[in-house]
Structure 1
Amino acid sequence: MEKVETGGAARPGGRGVLLFARDIVVIFLVALLISFLVKTFLIRPFWIPSESMNDTLQVDDRIIVSLLTPDLIPIEHGDIVVFEDPGGWLPEPQPQEETGLLGAVDWFLTFVGLAPEDDHGYLIKRVIGLPGDRVQCCNDYGQLMIDGQPIDEPYLRLDAPGEPASSLSFDVTVPEGHLWVMGDNRDHSGDSRAHMDAPGGGFVPIQTVVGRAVLVSWPLERWAWLDSYDESFVGLEPQGAGAWQVLPSGVPS
């Protein structure tokens, strides 16, 4: 390594050590600040605790969620979104807080965005219906239909070949400012269909969407970008103004 001359007088060794330590602390604090800002405004990690999105997402997968959706990037058909519980979709959480040093470390890593949150009511599903869409199940071939157009769903996992895309029939029109969401593991997903009789009718307010899942980050052998399957929804256009509108304010799966 070549020597770099500064042109100044040499500093005493002790003062040099203190300055070095100070620089390390400053770099560490700046790195934490950047991590916190990234978590707050750009991306956040989440983990998958259930099988409702198999095989796209599997139990204990870690995912990266872009926070640019829906505030800056509109939600589209096929997007996988993380959203807050619209109300009654999840049981009351039973907090199991770590104590002592381990608990403090876990809180700190979660705060700066280096560990996923596991104490909040989040869900993850695929967007099937946008505001104004009429979503029906199923046609004679067992396919979902959006505004009368059948859609091909290569991401589906069904218990038996040849089953319809949903064992529960439905015919809904998505209201403005809301979404209709469904799990890829269609026979084992408590999604919009399971809450049609609830006050919200099974629709998810766009204001509760935290962001769009973009990447499986762990385990390494499952590292992959998450596909929205645009080709499955070709020809579909948003039917209502709310399709591109974020209302003022908002992962079990």
Structure 2
Amino acid sequence: MDVARGDAASAAPAAEPADTSADPTEVAPSSRGPFGGRLHSGNRAWWQELPTLIIAALLVTLIVRTFLVQAFYIPSGSMEPTLMVGDRVLVSKLSYRVGEIQRGDVIVFDGTDSFAGSGEVEPAHGVVAKVVRGIGSFFGVSASEKDFTKRVIGLPGDHVVCCDAAGRVSVNGVGVEEPYVMEGDAPSASPFDVVVPPGRLWVMGDHRSDSADSRSHLGDPGGGTVPVDRVIGKIVLRFWPLSHFGGLDDGTSVSGK
């Protein structure tokens, strides 16, 4: 039997042009890197993203810590009853960039070259201990032996004396009412009479009988006063423990003409 053979080209439908847009091997231009490499567009496992998140968090923490606020903990009783041992506080670094230091402010400062060699925290011993302390300091959960917390009593040029006829500290001849001083403590058990040099501060702890403050450093460089440019910032908040949460007495009664 004869079978008719048709022309293959005429018998079969004409082939349509290939649709390259559906080619799974192609990557859209927006999915290519700046040098032509392909980028992974699928969902990554959480543990693959974790290093990036940690680095980003550290960078944000560093920026905030450097320019805005820094967390500290209180390692001694020198500021009782205002601040208790173990309190966590936030220190504003903006306070004195947009404003001036005021009498009565509770500050954190670097005591290098003023309160030299007498930090309120024992230095760490050993490499591991120093690393742990460094990480803790970065996140505000440990203290540095060079950082101190005190209240500003005298500003540059002030004449600060203890004690006046009423047994009070006086600033420029004006007696200071100090309701924040530890109950039972005298304003000062040791007399002093100083004129605060330019660019420096006279500072004292609220627990006067348990504070190695400006009075204890009269023989050190600066005569017990602290350089203004060593001030880290003003304590604006206690955030831990929650039972102590809140702001501080700003010592508005500390005045002087």
Whether the 8 Å contact between 1:89 and 1:195 is mirrored in structure 2 is no
Determine the structure 1 residue equivalent to 2:104.
78
Cα separation, 1, equivalents of 2:230 and 2:168: 28
| 1:227 matched to 2:252 | no
How many residue pairs align between the two structures? 216
Cα distance in structure 2, aligned partners of 1:89 and 1:29: 35
SS at match of 2:55: helix
Q: Tell me how far apart the structure 2 counterparts of residues 159 and 226 of structure 1 sit (CA, whole Å).
A: 20
Matches within 5 A, 1:103-118: 107-108=134-135, 110-111=137-138, 114-118=139-143
For residues 43 and 222 of structure 1, the distance between their equivalents in structure 2, rounded to whole angstroms, comes to 19
Q: Offset at 1:30?
A: 2.9
Contact kept in structure 2, 1:44 and 1:116, CA below 8 Å: no
User: 1:39–1:97: structure 2 CA closer, same or farther, 3 Å change rule?
Assistant: farther
Which of 132, 142, 155 lines up with 2:157 in the alignment?
132
Question: Kindly, what percent of the aligned residue pairs are identical?
Answer: 38
In structure 2, the partner of 1:35 is 61
Q: Distance in 2 between matches of 1:20 and 1:167?
A: 61
TM-superposed CA distance for 1:175, in Å, is 0.7
Partner of 2:191: 169
The answer for the alignment partner of 1:56 in structure 2 is 82
Report the equivalent of 1:205.
227
Per-residue CA deviation, residues 174-200 of structure 1 (Å, 9 max, x unaligned), is: 110000000000111111111112232
Is 1:217–2:239 an aligned residue pair?
yes
Once the two structures are TM-superposed, the CA of residue 15 in structure 1 deviates from its matched residue by: 5.3
Structure 1, residues 155-210: CA drift from partner, whole Å, max 9, x if none?
A: 001435xx4x1111111111100000000001111111111122321111111111
1:88 is aligned to 116
SS at match of 2:179: coil
1:22-52, CA deviations, whole angstroms, 9 ceiling, x for partnerless residues?
Answer: 6665554333321110011111111111111
Structure 1 residue 215 displacement after superposition: 1.1
| 1:182 maps to which of 204, 209, 213 | 204
**What SS class does the counterpart of residue 166 from structure 2 fall into?**
coil
48-57 or 14-23, larger mean C-alpha shift: 14-23
Structure 2: gaps (5+ residues)? 1-39
Contact 2:110 2:231 in 1 (8 A): yes
TM-score by length of 2: 0.74
Q: Distance in 2 between matches of 1:218 and 1:169?
A: 36
Whole-angstrom CA distance in 2 between matches of 1:166 and 1:67 = 30
Q: 1:194 to 1:108 in 2, by over 3 A?
A: closer
Inter-partner Cα distance in structure 1 for 2:194 and 2:130:
45
Deviations 1:212-236 (CA, angstroms, capped at 9, x unpaired): 1111111111111122122x035x3
Structure of greater relative contact order (alpha carbons < 8 Å, 6+ residues apart): 1
Q: How far apart in 2 are the matches of 1:118 and 1:142?
A: 35
Give the match for residue 192 of structure 1: 214
Offset at residue 96 of structure 1 (A): 3.4
Q: Distance in 1 between matches of 2:91 and 2:191?
A: 31
Distance 2:140 2:146 in 1: 16
Q: Deviations over 1:83-111 (max 9, x none)?
A: 11124251595323574xx9877755644
Q: Rate the CA distance shift 1:191–1:119 in 2: closer, same or farther, 3 A.
A: closer
